[in-house]
Amino acid sequence: MLRTAPPPPSRSRGRERAPVASDRPLTILLAHNVYQQAGGEDGVFAREGDLLEARGHRVLRYALHNDDVEGMGRLALAARTLWSRESYAEVRRIVQAEGVDVVHVHNTLPLLSPSVFHAAHDGGAATVHTLHNYRLVCPGNLLLRDGAICRDCVGKAFAAPAVRHTCYRGSAAATAAVAVTTAVHRRLGTWDREVDRYIVLSEFARGVFVEGGLPADRIAVKPNPAPEGAQAGPGGAGALFAGRLTAEKGVRVLLAAWASDPSLPVLTIAGDGELAGEVAEAAATDPRIRPVGWQTAAQMAERMATADALVVPSLWYEGWPLVTVEAMGRGTPVVASGHGPFPEIVADGETGRLFAPGDPGALAAAVADLFSDADRLAAMRPAARLRCRGHFSTSADYDRLQAVYSDAIAQHAAAR
């Protein structure tokens, strides 16, 4: 596989630039490999660009789409995953032609490749990389295997366990391509020298990546914010699950919890996915379970506002599930798995409840306790909204992003 990859280009750097004043608008290039099924990362890529433009910055976008993978041979795709000549050339051209100050990269897999970090530096720009998931320490990106948390590859120079267990797309070859890319760029110094600042979404994630070998002094925590202008809702519609109907989202735990306790409230399940059939079967025998399928953004906002509580029983750690802060922004308490970033989002007993991950009985008990006291549940609504507006607002997000860019520019200037 390594023999098929083109060598890195020469390390000649772009023209020297004057230091960037921290109070002037920046020229920012946002780079992202768009997923075939739109998800949270795609949404953050779009919203951050809009936010930066609204605050007076000049924003350029370089986006490739996974649909372009169709027709590429396995070796050609593996080579491009490791080092994309096309992305390197285009990013360097944009940086030099447009006087880019910062290249902010979201997802590089597979078509951008980590070559874009080298291109940005060679063109003269600072670099920032948002780690939306755990792929740099886990080729499968979930830190989950066979329904259980797995950290076998965290800190390893090469993720051999992931290849053995075919953790990415159920394919040893595809998993190896991801693992080799991460390992080769570790040897090249990409992760240590070519990324000026990393953004992670929680303190929990920061700890994972430091354990995985990333430089601790370059990792900033910046949660994704709730949308601006969300209106508080009245509640009254019972519990809500909103998301993909997949095993890692805890859908089976959710159904088992409701099956175990007939006192639990109505449960609306909004979303679609591979477990939709199991949800339909449960609904056929339990009138409290009401699947409504995929929802538009407006429909989902309405369901969040009218729900008494959002239930998030994820088995995997999650990156920063936007559905939780979106619900809290509308005053809806959250019942969530007590691991990963959730303890940083939900104040247990004040804005919702946390329960032991993967335990249907613990989930049922948490929901039953929450709904057993109507006055306490009602008091959680303004508390959830206040916590969201104080910690996860767009204004706070912009301030954190500006600080990251300033630090990245300073780091890059010092290195030069």
Q: What is the pLDDT of residues 187-201, one digit of tens each?
A: 999 999 999 999 999
Report the mean per-residue pLDDT for the chain.
Answer: 93
Backbone angles phi, psi at 231, to 5 degrees: -90, 145
- What's the pLDDT tens digit per position in 276-301? 999 999 999 999 999 999 999 899 99
Q: Which two tokens stand for residue 46?
A: 């779009």
pLDDT one-digit tens code per residue, 236-260: 999 999 999 999 999 999 999 999 9
- Does the pLDDT at position 2 exceed 70? no
Same CATH topology for 2-225+395-415 and 239-392: the answer is yes
Residue 275 backbone phi and psi in degrees, to 5: -100, 15
* CA–CA dist 258, 237 (Å, integer): 16
Look up residue 43 and give its DSSP letter. Answer: H
Q: b or e along 223-248 (b: 16 or more beta carbons within 10 Å of the residue's beta carbon)?
A: bbbbeeebeebebebbbbbbbbbbbe
CA 284/CA 371 separation, integer angstroms: 24
pLDDT at residue 21 above 60? Answer: no
Pick from 234, 237, 235, 192: nearest CA to 215: 192
| CATH architecture, range 2-225+395-415 | 3-Layer(aba) Sandwich (3.40)
Residue 12 has pLDDT above 60, yes or no: no
**Domain extents in the chain:** 2-225+395-415, 239-392
Distance CA 14, CA 125 (A): 9
**CA nearest 332: which of 356, 355, 311?**
311
Instruction: Give residue 22's pLDDT band: very low, low, confident or very high (50, 70, 90).
Output: low
d(CA 24, CA 305): 39
Given a cut of 60, whether residue 311 has pLDDT beyond it is: yes
Written as one string, the DSSP assignment of 109-164 is: TTTT-THHHHHHHHHT-EEEEE--SSTTT-TTSSSEETTEE--TTTT-SS-HHHHH
What is the C-alpha to C-alpha distance for residues 251 and 278, in angstroms, rounded to an integer?
A: 9
* Cα 91 to Cα 282: distance, rounded to the nearest angstrom: 50
Position 17 pLDDT exceeds 60: no
pTM score: 0.91
- In 261-359, alpha helices (H): 276-285, 297-306, 322-329, 342-345
> Is 80 exceeded by the pLDDT of residue 37?
no
Contact by Cβ (8 Å): 363, 309: no
**Which pLDDT belongs to residue 24?**
84
| Topology of the domain comprising 239-392 | Rossmann fold (3.40.50)
The pLDDT score that the predictor gives to residue 135 is 96
**The pLDDT value given to residue 6:** 41
